[in-house]
Structure 1
Amino acid sequence: MVEEVSERVMGDCSTSSMSSNLSEVFHFSSGNPRIEETRGIMHLFSNNHLSSHLPVDRKPLLCVLFVPNHMTYADFCQFCGSFIQHMLEMRIVRNDGMEDCYSILIRFDEQKAADTFHKHFNGRKFSSLEEETCNVLFAADVHYTGSIEHTQSTPASSTEQPFCAVCLERLDQDTSGILTTICNHSFHCSCISKWTDSSCPVCRYCQQQPGNSTCSVCQSPENLWMCVICGFVGCGRYKEAHATRHWKETQHCYALELETRRVWDYAGDNYVHRLIQSKTDGKLVELNHHCHHDNDGCCGCECGADPEFSETILNSKVEAIVNEYNELLTSQLEDQKMYFESLLQEVEEEIARETKEAVEKALCQNPRLTKLKVRLDKCIEEKKFHDDISDNLTRNKEIWEAKILEIEEREKRALKMKDEKISELEEEIATLMASIET
């Protein structure tokens, strides 16, 4: 179903008259091709390398063309650096006819920021290790021209949700820039900058397509077989037979045909419908099928598996899904815990700051409280001064008491020595008197 619309994207950018330097028309599309694809046209001002003057009728709306697919949204946000805070909205669109790159529409909060971004990044390499350069053009207007629905969308999916799917906060351009992915899911730029994967955090759609497989020896893209044991990719017997040569050299007898996804057994020279791993030696062996239907009633071998084996396979799948869900739930709960803990810390810091401001405001508004606070501070200083003096006096008292004890001990020793000397002299006098009398 195609609905013709004349809806303009990227906010309130109005259509302007086409000036002389507006000569490039760019066709683009967005949305998941499996669900709904929306096409549009944007008119771009031509990039005149010979002149350094910017277009006269320009708006704060830019388009970055031909961004390589291997560059994730987080990489581009990091590439923009400090300009990310001036971006109100970014929208990822698909280049028509190009599968290895995409483009980004950016709306800035002011014309000065858009001009600075254009001068700083136009012609600059995305990385010093790559040859791709950043092509920045001013956009005059952008229109959606049609929408194609490939599947019937549910009311929940067709209604735009004004909340970020990562942090669950409301999407508001005044607080943080909004990035809309190529599958039309919107996030905060600060949230998507932490998403290192190239896929969408909601639907897992990835713009970067896997490369085409080729033979590891002759680089042939046709009739390819992949070794189930080691992953070697080689061409079949109708080309250079490198897959067969790999089997002869390594004795890896099982190969997967990439086109039909069927497994060939070189040793048995036939297709193997189902493989299981042996419990004895760990090798891959063929599972024997026992069909419960008659030969005429069985249209394939899907019903031929053993019931116990089918139940085991089902239980293993259920267990794997449960484990994956538990790991996902645990990681998400941990992320939410860290997020809300950071919010609580911010609230506590804000409350402490507001309390301090309220106290200072109350003191300023009441002169009596101010005087009391001054007197209190003065009393605290005086108390501290007296405490210091008291501590000094206490220390001096202890020192002098120790000195007095030392002097008393010295005087006692001197008196004792004097008494002993007197006693000796008296004994000598008595001896002399006795000698004189005789």
Structure 2
Amino acid sequence: MISADLSDSSAASNVTQAFPFSSGNPRIEETRGVMHLYREDVTPTSSELPVGRKPLVCVLGVPNHMTYADFCQFCGSFIQHILEMRIVRNDGMEDRYSILIRFDDQNSTDTFYNHFNGRRFSSLEVEACRVLFTVDVQYTGSIEHAQTSPASSTEQPTCPVCLERLDQDMSGILTTICNHSFHCSCISKWTDSSCPVCRFSQQQPEKSICIVCQTSENLWICVICGFVGCGRYREGHAIRHWKETEHCYSLELETQRVWDYAGDNYVHRLIQSKTDGKLVELNHHCAHADDGCGSCDCSGDPGFTEALLNSKVEAIVNEYNDLLTTQLENQKIYFESLLEEVEEETEREISKAVEKALSQNQKLQKMQVKLNKCIEEKKFLDDINDNLLRNQEIWESKIVEIEEREKKALRRKDDKIRNLEEQLRDLMVCFEGGNTVEQLPASNELEDNSVLPLQIESSSRNGTKGTTRRTNRG
């Protein structure tokens, strides 16, 4: 077991951080402790490694999908320098685990740190290897959850795979999360994530809940379709599932026992052991006595015992075959009824869809007729609009011509009016001149036929001309 002493804890408290951890199979025994690691800001680069470090590091936060063999392959170039590796789980990290590694010397430890710190576990993943120097590992105690056998409670001196002694000086030792130790070369050949001894897996399954009410207590899973429901002492969703689907076999998750709702009894033959997790046959007592077959004749003759055992096995096989046949027949009837319901429902949906399609087709036809009428009306209105536009242009040109003619007529009229006004003025002048001559006195009459010149201006279309009027006496 990896451990260390923290003699200078007061001096290292400012540069370390504590990580509580646990290991062991929770069903059997759980070991808890605290590991003190140097903070990441203390070792930023390879040139500033912490003073007083030890050949002990911790690979923190390894993804659960990496098995023991995967990690041994990842750090395979340093396996010969590793004395011991221990798998632990950190509190608060459900999907990750950590690995405590002790090397043979400080130089190998520093080289491992410089090579793997910050390096990704795989080119296809984003998770990076996080290596921290370990100051101290303290074990606070262990809790036993079940009675274990003496063979499982003591550490095995040999590797369970190769049966060789677990000598740390000769080769590295890997202790799994369930506290079983192996050689690194032996465990690297085990591709499964479970332990080769107790089959405890580091990849713990997710906690199941009732699909309907989300409770996690008294759960039963249907062995036919996998429906998870609570028992009849909770909300009764498991038995309700049986009434709805006729799936009469359900497995209790806590005890791994199978219940037959149709027969109203348990029908399991194998159960999971609480000590090591293996499947074992359910204990049953002889029908003749409560303490076994000691009082009947079957315990005397070995041949009779073997024949009795074979007959029991054959009876169990026949019973299982009959049970399976009955269940299959019931499932056949049930699924045939479901298929009939589905076919009827499909036919109803098809008829509804056809009726809806016909109604939609009729609506589309009516809309098409309306659309054609609208198109015709639009075409007619477009023709009328074109004709009106052409007429507008014609009338505009006619209006322009009429306006020009009116302007010319107005100019001629104005000229005529001017001429008439000039002629009228000339006539007025002539009349005024005639009246003046008649009013002259006789004494002022001219003798010897003298002529009185009068200048008369007249206007006509050809211009203005002067006339002389001769006035004779007498």
The two structures have a TM-score, normalised by structure 2, of: 0.48
Following superposition, the deviation at residue 272 of structure 1 comes to: 5.9
1:254 paired with 2:272, answer no
Flag the 1:123–1:161 CA change in 2: closer, same or farther, 3 A.
Answer: same
The alignment covers a number of residue pairs equal to 279
**Residue number among 34, 40, 53 corresponding to 1:41 in the alignment:** 34
**Residue number among 105, 108, 127 corresponding to 1:110 in the alignment:** 105
Structure-2 residue corresponding to 1:359: none
Counterparts of 1:47 and 1:317, CA distance in 2? 66
Mapped contact 2:121–2:129 kept (Cα < 8 A)? yes
For residues 386-405 of structure 1, the aligned pairs below 5 Å read none
Mapped contact 1:225–1:235 kept (Cα < 8 A)? yes
Mapped contact 1:19–1:57 kept (Cα < 8 A)? no
- Give 1:99's aligned amino acid: E
Following superposition, the deviation at residue 20 of structure 1 comes to: 6.5
Flag the 1:314–1:179 CA change in 2: closer, same or farther, 3 A.
Answer: farther
Cα displacement string for residues 74-93 of structure 1 (whole angstroms, at most 9, x for unaligned residues): 11101113122211111112
Flag the 1:169–1:14 CA change in 2: closer, same or farther, 3 A.
Answer: farther
Cα displacement string for residues 112-149 of structure 1 (whole angstroms, at most 9, x for unaligned residues): 22122222222333334444332211011112222333
Flag the 1:315–1:190 CA change in 2: closer, same or farther, 3 A.
Answer: same
Q: CA RMSD in A?
A: 4.4
Counterparts of 1:98 and 1:61, CA distance in 2? 22
- Structure number, greater radius of gyration: 2
Identical-pair percentage: 62
For residues 404-415 of structure 1, the aligned pairs below 5 Å read none
**Residue number among 24, 46, 51 corresponding to 1:31 in the alignment:** 24
Counterparts of 1:143 and 1:313, CA distance in 2? 57
> Residue 101 of structure 2: SS of its match in structure 1?
strand
Mapped contact 2:20–2:35 kept (Cα < 8 A)? yes
For residues 154-165 of structure 1, the aligned pairs below 5 Å read 154-165=149-160
Counterparts of 1:114 and 1:138, CA distance in 2? 9
Mapped contact 2:223–2:249 kept (Cα < 8 A)? yes
- Give 1:45's aligned amino acid: Y
Counterparts of 1:180 and 1:56, CA distance in 2? 29
Counterparts of 2:315 and 2:60, CA distance in 1? 43
Unaligned ranges ≥5, structure 1 = 1-8, 277-291, 294-309, 320-438
Structure-1 residue corresponding to 2:392: none
Flag the 1:314–1:48 CA change in 2: closer, same or farther, 3 A.
Answer: farther
- Give 1:254's aligned amino acid: C
Unaligned ranges ≥5, structure 2 = 270-286, 289-307, 318-474
Mapped contact 1:227–1:252 kept (Cα < 8 A)? no
1:194 paired with 2:185, answer no
Task: Return 171-180 or 43-52, whichever deviates more.
Answer: 43-52
Following superposition, the deviation at residue 317 of structure 1 comes to: 11
For residues 4-403 of structure 1, the aligned pairs below 5 Å read 9-10=1-2, 15-17=7-9, 18-19=11-12, 22-48=15-41, 51-52=44-45, 53-213=48-208, 220=214, 226-231=221-226, 253-256=247-250, 258=252, 263=259, 271=264, 273-274=266-267, 315=313
- Give 2:117's aligned amino acid: N
Flag the 1:108–1:219 CA change in 2: closer, same or farther, 3 A.
Answer: farther
Structure-2 residue corresponding to 1:338: none
> Residue 48 of structure 1: SS of its match in structure 2?
helix
- Give 2:102's aligned amino acid: R
- Give 2:313's aligned amino acid: N
Counterparts of 1:213 and 1:175, CA distance in 2? 45
Mapped contact 2:4–2:137 kept (Cα < 8 A)? no
Counterparts of 1:159 and 1:194, CA distance in 2? 25
Following superposition, the deviation at residue 45 of structure 1 comes to: 0.5
Counterparts of 2:214 and 2:224, CA distance in 1? 21
Cα displacement string for residues 175-214 of structure 1 (whole angstroms, at most 9, x for unaligned residues): 2111112222221111111111222222222232212336
Counterparts of 1:317 and 1:191, CA distance in 2? 43
Q: Which has the higher contact order (CA 8 A, sep 6+)?
A: 1
Mapped contact 2:251–2:259 kept (Cα < 8 A)? yes
Following superposition, the deviation at residue 226 of structure 1 comes to: 4.1
> Residue 201 of structure 2: SS of its match in structure 1?
coil
